[in-house]
Amino acid sequence: MLYSELFAAALRASRKRELSTAVEALIESSFAISRSRFWIQKNQPVRDAAGLRRFRRRLRRLLADEPLAYILGAKEFYGELLLVSPAVLVPRPETELLVEKALQLLGREPLRVLDIGAGSGAISVLLALRSRAEVTALEKSRPALAVLRKNIARFGLQERVRPLAGDLFPRRGERFQMIVSNPPYLSRRDWRNAPATVRLFEPRVALEAGPVGTEALAKIIAGAPGRLEPGGRLLLEIGRGQHRAVSGFLRAAGLRERECVRDYAGIDRVVVAQN
Ligand SMILES: C[S@@+](CC[C@H](N)C(=O)[O-])C[C@H]1O[C@@H](n2cnc3c(N)ncnc32)[C@H](O)[C@@H]1O
């Protein structure tokens, strides 16, 4: 079998043209060759039997709707490759907007930042890499904390990112100059209607907040004034249609809403507030 035949057969099996990039990524990782190498040698026979077995195993997972990031064990986020496993949410492009906004506000100051629901560490790691922030990366799920620790070590950030097991806020009453969070914000119904690739593979605790969807956002906002320094900022990723409710929670908590950043689909996505 030629590499080109393998590729064509995989696409026929998937019946989804948009999977072609994923199939290329599987070839790349299974045979340890670059994409350009694959295209150069596409008319050569596949001789790597172990690679072929790996490819077929991974393709079966892809065809069963498993996210490519879990199959590869990694996901690119804000220009860096983070380790992921089914214990953590696959970092999303929308969250890059939160990182971008936080970096703008942090500037070159060595500020203390709390990341609530750190998961893989996508936000914590990127903030530490691209600013002088000292980050407390708080996470409730033990299996997610293990992935978070691996990513902290992978980027040599043990001095700048502190992983912490906890429920929403650290137990000690320390205050931060910035709190960031991409909390679970799906309602129970959103979760039930989520695509199979999400519902069957990603951790429910990372996505579903409760019957309404804004439960975690409400708790974070209510607790934030007691954990932010005066003038400190709160940056939250929110779901479609949640902006109004979130503005109400901010008012009730006495926090001033500064800005709401829209994502590339025009949806209100990142809310910035100040203590
Ligand atoms: C939407 S994911 C975000 C993960 C990561 N920050 C990102 O942006 O890719 C939400 C994370 O919050 C964690 N989480 C859920 N409830 C929590 C709670 N009460 N306290 C701390 N973490 C929580 C989940 O385990 C999950 O890792």
| Per-residue model confidence as pLDDT tens digits over 27-64 | 999 999 998 998 898 999 999 999 999 999 999 999 99
- Give the model's confidence band at 133: pLDDT under 50 very low, under 70 low, under 90 confident, else very high: very high
Do 40 and 112 fall within a single domain?
A: no
Q: Can you tell me the mean pLDDT for 149-171? A: 97
* 60 and 113 co-located in one domain: no
- What is the domain range of residue 26? 3-64
Considering the domain boundaries, does residue 120 fall inside one? yes
23 shares a domain with 112: no
- 98 and 59 fall within a common domain: no
Task: Tell me what the mean pLDDT of segment 92-105 comes to.
Answer: 98
Q: How confident is the model at residue 173 (pLDDT cuts 50, 70, 90)?
A: confident
Q: Number of folded domains in the chain? A: 2
- Has this prediction a pTM greater than 0.85? yes
Residue 79 CA neighbour count, 13 Å, CB half: 7
Given a cut of 80, whether residue 18 has pLDDT beyond it is: no
Do 55 and 102 fall within a single domain? Answer: no
Q: Which residue has the higher pLDDT, 42 or 157?
A: 157
Residue 78 lies in a domain: no
Report CA(119)–ligand 1 centroid distance (Å).
5
Both 133 and 181 in one domain: the answer is: yes
For residue 92, give the ligand 1 atom closest to its CA: 9
Residue 58 domain flag = yes
Q: What is the pLDDT of residue 114?
A: 98
Expressed in angstroms and rounded, the spacing between residue 135 Cα and the centre of ligand 1 is 15
Does residue 71 belong to any structural domain of this protein?
no
Q: Are residues 122 and 166 in the same domain?
A: yes
Range scoring the smallest mean pLDDT among 10-14, 161-165, 196-200? 10-14
50's tokens: 């172990």
Residues 37 and 156 in one domain: no
Q: Are residues 36 and 135 in the same domain?
A: no
8 and 102 part of one domain: no
Which residue, 199, 205, 185, is CA-closest to 143?
205
Lowest pLDDT segment from 4-13, 76-85, 182-191, 212-221: 4-13
Ligand 1 proximal residues by C-beta, below 6 Å = 88-89, 91, 95, 116-120, 122-123, 138-141, 144, 167-168, 182-184, 205-206, 216
pLDDT in tens, 186-195: 999 999 999 9
Is residue 137, in this structure, part of any structural domain at all?
Answer: yes
Look over the chain and give the mean of its residue pLDDT values, rounded to a whole number.
96
Same domain flag for 113 and 7: no
In this prediction, residue 17 carries a pLDDT of: 61
Nearest CA to ligand 1 atom 13: 117
Q: Give the integer Cα–Cα distance in Å for 103 and 99.
A: 6
Assess if residue 142 is contained within a domain: yes
Say what percent of the chain tops pLDDT 90.
91
pLDDT of residue 16: 64
Higher local confidence (pLDDT), 42 or 133: 133
Among 120, 139, 179, name the best residue to mutate to test ligand 1's pocket (greatest count of ligand atoms within 8 A of Cβ): 139
Whether 93 and 47 share a structural domain: no
pLDDT at 20: 85
Residue 81 within any structural domain of the chain: no
- Please give the average per-residue pLDDT across 176-202, as a whole number: 97
Q: Looking at residue 181, which CATH number applies to its domain?
A: 3.40.50.150
Distance 121 CA to ligand 1 centre (A): 10
Measure 40 CA to ligand 1 centroid, in angstroms.
42
Ligand 1 midpoint to CA 105 (Å): 22
